[in-house]
Structure formats: C-alpha cells, structure tokens
Amino acid sequence: QLQVQESGPGLVKPSEPLSLTCTVSGDSITSGSKYWGWIRQPPGKGLEWIGNMYYSGATYYNPSIKSRVTMSADTSKNQISLKLISVTAADTAVYYCARSPTSKYYFDYWGRGILVIVSS
C-alpha cells in the first residue's frame, strides 16, 4: 500500500525559505508514469495547487506561485521536496503531497498534510 508522508518545520519566519519533504513508501517515485504534486490549504480557505513534477525533473507550477517555488526529487531516498522562498503570513497553510497516477493531474494518494505557520 502506497504511503505518502510530509515532513518539515512547522514554523517558518517571514522572508525565510519554507522547505518540506515528501517521503514515499510502498512504491518507487520512478515507477511508471507517476507524477508528484504539492497542494496547500490556508486556514479557512480552499485548496490551492502548487505544482507537479516527474521524477526526472520536469516541473509544472501554478503561475500564481511559480516565481517562488522549486520542486525536486531525490530518487535514492524516494522523496519529493518543495521549497518556497520569500514566505509571508499568506503562505501559512496545511501542505499536502500527493501522487498523480498519470499525466492527467488528479491525485490518487495523498499524505495527511503538515501545518506550516509563517510567523516571527
């Protein structure tokens, strides 16, 4: 059974980078035509897609956040990473990692999410 787990600091200071890791177990991030995505949900608001990536490095970002986000993969650790720079309080959210089973970006496996608060 595939499992996805997000990890990282729960508190980040404004203007500092936010870095999260998604650890995948039960399958390889390199298997098949799987894509990996990050989605976030600010408190009291709806879900926002951040971006998707293929393990080889191809990335697809939401234009609204593209200038500040980088996604990468570490195949040796079976992990996907997210880095968001120049964070503000508006980046406070629950961040989810999820798998897209194909190049059609719906998500069939999600993590439970990690709350990241941006505050000094």
In our burial notation (b when 16+ CB lie closer than 10 A, e otherwise), range 54-72 reads bbeeebebeeebeebbbbe
Instruction: Give the C-alpha separation, 13 to 35, whole Å.
Output: 30
Residue whose CB is less far from other proteins, 36 or 109? 109
> 73: which 2 tokens?
């993969």
Residue whose CB is less far from other proteins, 49 or 70? 49
Q: Taking the complex as a whole, how short is the minimal distance between the CB of residue 94 and other proteins, in angstroms?
A: 10
Q: Taking the complex as a whole, how short is the minimal distance between the CB of residue 28 and other proteins, in angstroms?
A: 19
Binding site for other proteins (CB under 8 A): 4, 39, 46-49, 60, 62-64, 96, 98, 104-113
Q: Taking the complex as a whole, how short is the minimal distance between the CB of residue 49 and other proteins, in angstroms?
A: 4
Q: How far is CA 113 from CA 15, 70, 76, 120, in A?
A: 22, 18, 23, 22
